[in-house]
Amino acid sequence: MTPKYASCMATAFRSFTTITDMHFLLEPFAYDFMLRAFAAGILTAIIAPMIGIFLVTRRYSFMADTLAHVSLAGIAVGTLTGIHPIFAALGASAIAALAVEQLRSAKRVLGESALALFLSGGLALASVLLSLAKGNNVNLGSLLFGSITTVSVTDVTYVFALGVVVLVVILILYRQLFSISFDEELSLASGLNVGTINRILVLLAAVTVSLTMRIVGVLLVGALMIIPVVAAMQWKLSFLRTLLLAIAISLFSVVTGLLLSFYAGTASGGTIVLVAIACFLVGLGFNRR
Partner 1 sequence: MTKQELAIDVQHVNFSYNSENVLDDVTLAVEPGAYLGLLGPNGGGKTTLMKIILGLIEPENGSIKIFGKTPQDARREGKIGYVPQRIAQGDSSFPATVEEIVRSGRTPIIGIGGLFRQSDANAVEEALHAAGVHHLRHRLVGQLSGGERQKVFIARALASRPKILILDEPTTGVDIGAKEAFYTLLKELNTKHGITIVFISHDLEVVTKHATCAACLNQKIVVHCSEHAFLHDPEVRKLYGDSFSFVHHDH
Instruction: Find the binding residues for partner 1 in span 51-80 (CB under 8 A).
Output: 57
Q: Is 183 in the site for partner 1 (CB under 8 A)?
A: yes
Q: Which stretch binds partner 1 (CB under 8 A): 84-92, 187-195, 220-228, 264-272?
A: 187-195
Distance CA 229, CA 207 (A): 18
Q: Toward partner 1, which CB reaches closer, 93 or 176?
A: 176
Q: Is 176 in the site for partner 1 (CB under 8 A)?
A: yes
Q: Which stretch binds partner 1 (CB under 8 A): 5-13, 84-92, 114-122, 175-183?
A: 175-183
Q: Helix 239-264 and helix 32-56: axis angle, to 10°?
A: 150
Q: Is 239 in the site for partner 1 (CB under 8 A)?
A: yes
Q: Toward partner 1, which CB reaches closer, 2 or 238?
A: 238
Smallest distance from the beta carbon of 104 to partner 1, in angstroms?
Answer: 18
Q: Toward partner 1, which CB reaches closer, 215 or 232?
A: 232
- Which residues lie below 8 Å from residue 196, measured CB to CB, with a gap of 6+? none
Smallest distance from the beta carbon of 136 to partner 1, in angstroms?
Answer: 43
Q: Toward partner 1, which CB reaches closer, 26 or 106?
A: 106
Q: Longest C-alpha distance within the chain, in Å?
A: 89
Q: Toward partner 1, which CB reaches closer, 219 or 246?
A: 246
Contact present, 147 and 267 (Cβ < 8 Å): yes
- Count the alpha carbons within 13 Å of 32 in the hemisphere toward its beta carbon: 5
Residue count, binding to partner 1 (CB under 8 A): 26
Chosen residue from 62, 87, 160, 178 binding partner 1 by CB under 8 A: 178
Q: Which stretch binds partner 1 (CB under 8 A): 107-115, 140-148, 230-238, 264-272?
A: 230-238
Amino acid at 62: F
Chosen residue from 15, 120, 154, 190 binding partner 1 by CB under 8 A: 190
Instruction: Find the binding residues for partner 1 in span 102-121 (CB under 8 A).
Output: none
Q: Is 189 in the site for partner 1 (CB under 8 A)?
A: yes
Q: Toward partner 1, which CB reaches closer, 172 or 281?
A: 172
Residues that bind partner 1 (CB under 8 A): 57, 172-173, 175-176, 178-179, 181-183, 185-192, 232-233, 236-240, 242
